[in-house]
Chain A
Amino acid sequence: MSTPAEVTAAAEHAAAERTGCTCDNSHESLFVPREAKILHTAQPTATEKHFTLQLADGEQLDFTPGQILEVGVMGFGEIPIGLASSPTRKYTFEIVVRSVGRVSTAINKQEVGDSLWIRGPLGHGFDMDALHGEDVLVVAGGIGLCPTRSLIQYIADRREDFGRFVLFYGARDPLQLLFPEDRAVWRASHGIEYHETVDRASVHWSGHVGNITTLFKTTSLTPETRVIICGPPVMFQFVLRELDSLGISRENIYVDLERRMKCGVGKCGHCQINDKYCCVDGPVFTFAEIQALEEAI
């Protein structure tokens, strides 16, 4: 007896033989988006909006932390946005969008009850199997906390599957700090060693001040720690220097890269980094993988 998966695989194989095509989605356009209803919104900063969404057809979105969506408003266009919630929290998914230009501003004008049009999940997320059982450090700078929040929630929800869990979060100033409720939970949680900092303090700030690398002094890390870095390009080199001095191998460092994107499916060419496509080979790469790519950092 064949399992249903084997039957499907055999049918797909037969179809591939006929058409000479070995892909799984050979009869649909890659570009037709699905409707997602806005269930909830929050406005954590002046320019960022946090959306909780649900697919209009009631299906669940099945994804890995680190994957992205193309998110759009019909008539305005679509842009790549990282998934900010964990797939362990089913039924809804979340994104945080910063208004910088035409499409992001159009998205951020939408309200509860309106729809966003999405394609995805797209790309290559974090290798959760490789992180299984390991000590994990997340270094998130600025809006880099949005895609990593998916991974943070995932680890928090399956805490027993991972080793020690350390989280560094840095923002320019206290007004830029995202996810206040999450941070309160992380701060109180025994399973997460949460450290945050701001580059510039304000009068009401009593926490840590200094750039994100100064947090390395507050804790000790073993060379076997798996590290995830997500933030502005300038942050990478400073963080990498710290990781080098801790003896952390480049195979164990994951980076989340940003490039201009149009298609999200490896066709339009905009997101190329040498011969890799950020949209399908990434956006998550190991540092070892991109070290050899001259255009990466």
Chain B
Amino acid sequence: MDLAFTEDEEGFRHRLRAWLADVLPTLPDRPHPADWPGRRAYDCGWQRMLHDAGYAGLHWPEDAGGQGATPTQHLIFLEETERAGAPYVGAGFVGLLHAGPTIAAEGTPEQRARWLPPILRGDEVWCQGFSEPDAGSDLASLRTRAVRDGDTYVVSGSKIWTSHAEIADWCELLVRTAPVNADTPKHRGITWLALPMDAPGVTVRSLRTLAGTAEFAEVFLDEVRVPVGHRVGEENDGWRVTMVTLSFERGTAFVGEVVACRRVLEALARTAKANGRWDDAVLRRRLGRLAAECAALWRLTQWNVSEAQRTGGVPGVGGSVFKLRFSQVRQELYEAAAEVLGPDALDAGQEWVADRLSSLSYTIAAGTSQIQRNIVAERILGLPKGR
């Protein structure tokens, strides 16, 4: 066990730190959450800066246009950018963490050449069209149909909770290409397609979140024609491709937010000192306990990253363990914040109140806590298939 960083890793950290110190002051102000075009421009602009400085796709393999960095370097990158207050990956999330790695792993040379460079340059934005009104946790029961017509698929159905659909150019879309019956179990007839969001027949209807913002949308697909060449992986093999995608999502997706948890907690403690709440031993001890939780999240992250590094970059099962703890701690943190801030907790104008609201999605999005517990019980602990 060695928590020290190598000279190379430290060198990387220092170069990155210096670069961040140079460029962050030159960034424009963050756009208002309701300003979709502004958000797209801001997130893509930041990605372009990363690209030009050689930090785009850090953890992607070099033959996919990435930097081939080690998981540890990627960890350092996420830690340093968060600590410096750099922009969040934002609209680039699905392209950089999901669709891109999936295309890199499963796509043809033409597909890689077509889709990967614009993701890295921040020219194109992707969204994730997995969930449907009747297929959330039970993703394999999705019903959006794709019928083959010559060299195109004709797609009809609808998707829901699609984050960033308003500003996306492409959607990683799961469709049903074989009906469910006795010989075709439901997860066998699924195919992974790249859907151009501007294709005729695609309608996006914004949904308002409980925070009052429009983070995600419904996507209606009415006989949308998608070229067969946009299929990644084999027909009816989309479930396996999807599992590849999801393993990327649970890898290092939350590193920045773990750093943020500790920063929020420190800020909270300073606030409590300033407003007198610190004298309340019960509250103080609660914050102390959260500090232990933050430490555990960070160490679990380092553990998982080290494991991935040893096993060749494949995110391990530790991801579900981490996500369960993380989503709970993140919510507890904001409950404690409300106690420190008292009446201010009811002022939706406060920036942290928006974070408090958004923390409520953590036990739902990317697999609910219940589903994560099923995964831990069945796949890690080897308990019998659940009921």
Query: Do A and B assemble together?
Result: no
User: Which B residues contact A (CB, under 8 angstroms)?
Assistant: none
A residues engaging B (CB < 8 A)?
none
